[in-house]
Chains A and B, each alone.
Chain A
Amino acid sequence: QQQVKQSPQSLIVQKGGISIINCAYENTAFDYFPWYQQFPGKGPALLIAIRPDVSEKKEGRFTISFNKSAKQFSLHIMDSQPGDSATYFCAASIGGSSNTGKLIFGQGTTLQVKP
């Protein structure tokens, strides 16, 4: 119930295309869903995050779509660029008074954007 399942494991997209990464969760107590971006040799860095009271959040070329009833959320990268080539992790956590700050991560998706 604590798992977050992420797909695909790897993704190759042409420059200018749309990259889509999907995640699914079981625990309905999760109420914070961030996406982290990790470049080789670096630690993960927060890219964008959403709470379940909204169905979509957009920041520049990055959009999170959230489907509470299906317990799924996805990251869309519009106009993908070679500089977007990285590993992407979805995550989930529980807030409120029981907040331990623990992030439950998906398995990761390695994105390659070809020029």
Chain B
Amino acid sequence: EAQVTQNPRYLITVTGKKLTVTCSQNMNHEYMSWYRQDPGLGLRQIYYSMNVEVTDKGDVPEGYKVSRKEKRNFPLILESPSPNQTSLYFCASRPGAGASYNEQFFGPGTRLTVL
């Protein structure tokens, strides 16, 4: 089944404790992205990657890091989480950045609480 998977689905942590949220897609998509969803704000892009070893900042990148060492994986790293990073996080992928209107496929989400 074609899908985007994220782990963990739920995470409660404390301020300053480094964490990684994994994202993997099995559709051989070039483009991957991370969003955070907050009430009243919709989804906002954190980082995106147009291909392996190519990443760039989205609209809200502060406090986050990403890497794209393999095509299928795009982990999100919070090196020193803070309470304002408590949110619902989604990973998404699409076939290629060059195609203008390709659908983005979203993972099931990771609900993160930082105490």
Which residue in B42, B56, B101 is a CB contact (below 8 Å) of A100? B56
Verify if A105 is at the interface (C-beta below 8 Å from B).
yes
Q: How far is the CA of A4 from the CA of B43 in the complex (A)?
A: 11
Q: How far is the CA of A99 from the CA of B109 in the complex (A)?
A: 25
B108 lies within 8 A of A43 (CB): yes
User: With A100-B50, A102-B58 known to touch, is A95 a contact of B101 (CB < 8 Å)?
Assistant: yes
Q: Which residues of A contact B59 (CB under 8 A)?
A: 2, 102
B40 lies within 8 A of A9 (CB): yes
Interface contact tally, CB-CB below 8 A: 68
Q: How far is the CA of A79 from the CA of B33 in the complex (A)?
A: 35
Q: Give the contacts of A47-91 with B (CB-CB under 8 A).
A: 49, 51, 89
Verify if B52 is at the interface (C-beta below 8 Å from A).
no
User: With A42-B109, A43-B109, A44-B90 known to touch, is A103 a contact of B104 (CB < 8 Å)?
Assistant: yes
Question: Interface on chain A toward B: helix, strand, loop, or mixed SS?
Answer: loop
| B102 to chain A: closest residue by CB | A101
Q: Which residues of A contact B44 (CB under 8 A)?
A: 105
A-B contact list, 24 entries, CB within 8 Å: A6-B42, A9-B40, A41-B108, A43-B4, A43-B92, A46-B104, A49-B101, A51-B101, A95-B101, A99-B98, A101-B48, A101-B50, A101-B102, A101-B104, A102-B33, A102-B45, A102-B48, A102-B59, A103-B43, A103-B104, A105-B35, A105-B43, A105-B44, A106-B42
The interface of chain A, by Cβ under 8 A from chain B, is 2, 4, 6, 9, 31-32, 34, 36, 41-46, 49, 51, 89, 95-96, 99-103, 105-108
